Amino acid sequence: MVGVPPDEQQPSVTATIAIAAAEGFAAVGLTACLWAASAAAVETLYVQEGAVVPGVVCDRSRWLALGGTACPVCGRPMRATADVIGELAAAVLAEGGSVRTLRAARELSGQLTACTLRYALPAAGRRHALR
């Protein structure tokens, strides 16, 4: 792959953003990465160092979101968290993915997170298909 050093198994964050822009197997932005992690689709997660954002988590379904009260998967109340990015990283690691922290803000083009995907995500509007 262009721009990826030979010793790298995963696309660089720059390549990840390019892949996402081409609507390939990558996602950029916290909302998209939370959705991807909820679908257990994240291969490698890139996180801006020091980024902390509150959100909600369903501990039963591993659903992650920025807000909401009831889990869209199981309907149970979701737990509020002060650091949904931390929950996101833990979920990615639990699914066998990897997490990389980025120090320079410009690498993520101002976004807090980006990720590469194991497979194409179901469309956000079809999330009920995950039941």
- Interface contacts to Zn ion, rule CB under 5 A: 58, 60-61, 63, 71, 73-74
Nearer to Zn ion, 8 or 59 (CB): 59
Nearer to Zn ion, 40 or 105 (CB): 40
- Going by C-alpha positions, the residue among 115, 126, 122 that lies closest to residue 44 is 115
**Minimum Å distance from CB 71 to Zn ion?**
3
Q: How far is CA 97 from CA 52, 75, 77, 118, in A?
A: 20, 27, 27, 9
Nearer to Zn ion, 24 or 122 (CB): 122
**Minimum Å distance from CB 84 to Zn ion?**
15
